[in-house]
Amino acid sequence: MLKVAITGNIGTGKTTVARIFESLGVPIFYSDFQAKLLYKDEKIKRIITTQFGENILNGSGEIDFGLLSKMIFSDSKNLEIINNIIHPLVFERFDKWAGLHSTAKYVILESAIIFESPVEYLFDKIITVCSTYEICEERTVNRDKISKDEFESKYKSQLNQNFKIDHSDFIINNDGRSSLIEQVTEIHSKLYLV
């Protein structure tokens, strides 16, 4: 079984691409969803409040993601702290999950931070989804209801898109003009031949 990663900067459409692979029967591990589950774990909440203070919790005793987002994307040290808490646990969950799908030809982990973590060595193949800055900005601002400044802060916290392209096995161009389905099915066929 191959372990494949789908990555790309914020707003490139990684999840959309992952869903197309999923429609072809490929098991997909969504990192953001798994991370959100971890934030609900009492042990993790204690670790985070130790690092960021009790005010990181909202009135319901849950992590205030709006506040946390502002803290981590305005200060690279805070981003590194939260990444060091959450990401090893996400990848640990992925390993266990992948073991449950050992009969699949390949499985996919979808994550924006494969190269930032860095965990690219854990994967047999890496797919990078790319798009223009303007398209990523428009998608993210509309989807997440954030300002252009907040988007820029998040975008700048990730590695340059060209670096990801240069270090990936496959590239999917999500510019709104190229067919995602055609690009995905072509890669899907190639992965079955590996």
What domains can be seen in the chain, in order of their start residue? Answer: 2-32+79-193 (3.40.50.300)
Cα torsion 80, 113, 68, 54: sign = negative
pLDDT tens for 116-143 read 888 999 999 999 999 999 999 999 999 9
Name the token pair of 25.
């029967």
pLDDT tens for 61-105 read 999 988 998 898 888 899 889 989 999 999 999 999 999 999 999
CA-nearest of 36, 37, 65, 38 to 52 is: 65
Helix 42-52 vs helix 65-73: crossing angle, to nearest 10: 50
Residue ranges of the alpha helices (H) in 3-64? 14-23, 31-39, 42-52
CA-nearest of 186, 176, 27, 32 to 103 is: 27
pTM, two decimal places = 0.91
Mean pLDDT of 24-38: 95
Mean pLDDT of 39-55: 94
